[in-house]
Amino acid sequence: MKRVAISQSNYIPWRGYFDLIASVDEFILYDDMQYTRRDWRNRNKIKTAQGACWLTIPVEVKGKYFQKIKDTKVSDSHWYKSHWQTLSQNYKKSRYFAGIAAWLEPLYLAENQDMLSNINYTFIAAICRYLGINTTISLSSQYQLIDGKTERLVDICRQAGAGLYVSGPAAKDYLDVALFEQEGIDVGWADYNGYPAYPQQWSGFEPFVSILDLLFNCGPESLFYMKKPTDSLIKYEGKA
């Protein structure tokens, strides 16, 4: 049974996002969705000595924000260097900084992309490679899209040959599961409860920060603090 998840692209997401990717055969970045301000599309948090700190990619926003994620463009090309400088300053003393920086720093200093969706894809794919996540990552714009909130998701899953659609728990408020069942597609919900704390710098523990915090602090041991096997992430609904 092929497992598919569809989610909007985020900038250097938290570890739960990557567990969702690892739990499916194909992960589809929903880049045809409307860009939303003050959301995770172009920003995320890291931990610093002063507490959680936002890293935000500056983007051009037109009109009343009716632009799609795939059409959202960076407004200041210098953000790359600024973000890497902030990461370096805060994680240079972390245990695995050198190993992570070896492949991460070139991504920040390349400055060769100006579209938000492409930038997010680049970082997500690189982090997946480091973690050994071999899931196929595709874009919703590669599929034929129909109208309707749930109807569109169902049809993308149908085109992708999905037998199981895995969704984030927030979608329970609006997802019409019956439409999936009519197409013979089961639905599973990601369960983000029960994540263990991991060694962080400074006092206290910040659980909802970018996965980069986990990678810098734990390196190849990061997988011990993620959900394995993947079935421990998914709560099933339907026949699966």
Are the C-beta atoms of 22 and 54 separated by less than 8 Å?
Answer: no
Tokens found for residue 132: 């050994």
Long-range contacts of 166-170 (CB under 8 A, 24+ apart): 166/3, 166/4, 166/5, 166/20, 166/23, 166/24, 166/190, 166/234, 167/5, 167/6, 168/7, 168/20
Are the C-beta atoms of 169 and 191 separated by less than 8 Å?
Answer: yes
What range defines the domain where residue 43 resides?
3-237
d(CA 213, CA 84): 13
E strand segments, the chain? 3-7, 26-29, 43-48, 51-56, 136-139, 164-167, 186-190, 234-237
Tokens found for residue 232: 């421990």
pLDDT value for 231: 58
d(CA 154, CA 160): 10
Under DSSP, is residue 73 helix (H, G, I), strand (E, B) or coil?
Answer: strand
pLDDT value for 164: 96
Q: Which residues contact 103 (CB under 8 A, 6 or more apart)?
A: 126, 130
The CA-to-CA distance between both ends of the chain, in Å, stands at 9
Weakly modelled stretches of the chain, pLDDT under 70: 64-65, 229-232, 234-240
Tokens found for residue 164: 């199981």
Tell me which residue of 20, 52, 66 sits closest to 205, measured CA to CA. Answer: 52
Are the C-beta atoms of 23 and 230 separated by less than 8 Å?
Answer: yes
Tell me which residue of 46, 143, 130 sits closest to 88, measured CA to CA. Answer: 46
Are the C-beta atoms of 69 and 141 separated by less than 8 Å?
Answer: no
Q: How many domains does the chain have?
A: 1
pLDDT value for 238: 45
How many other CB atoms are found less than 10 A from the CB of residue 32?
Answer: 18
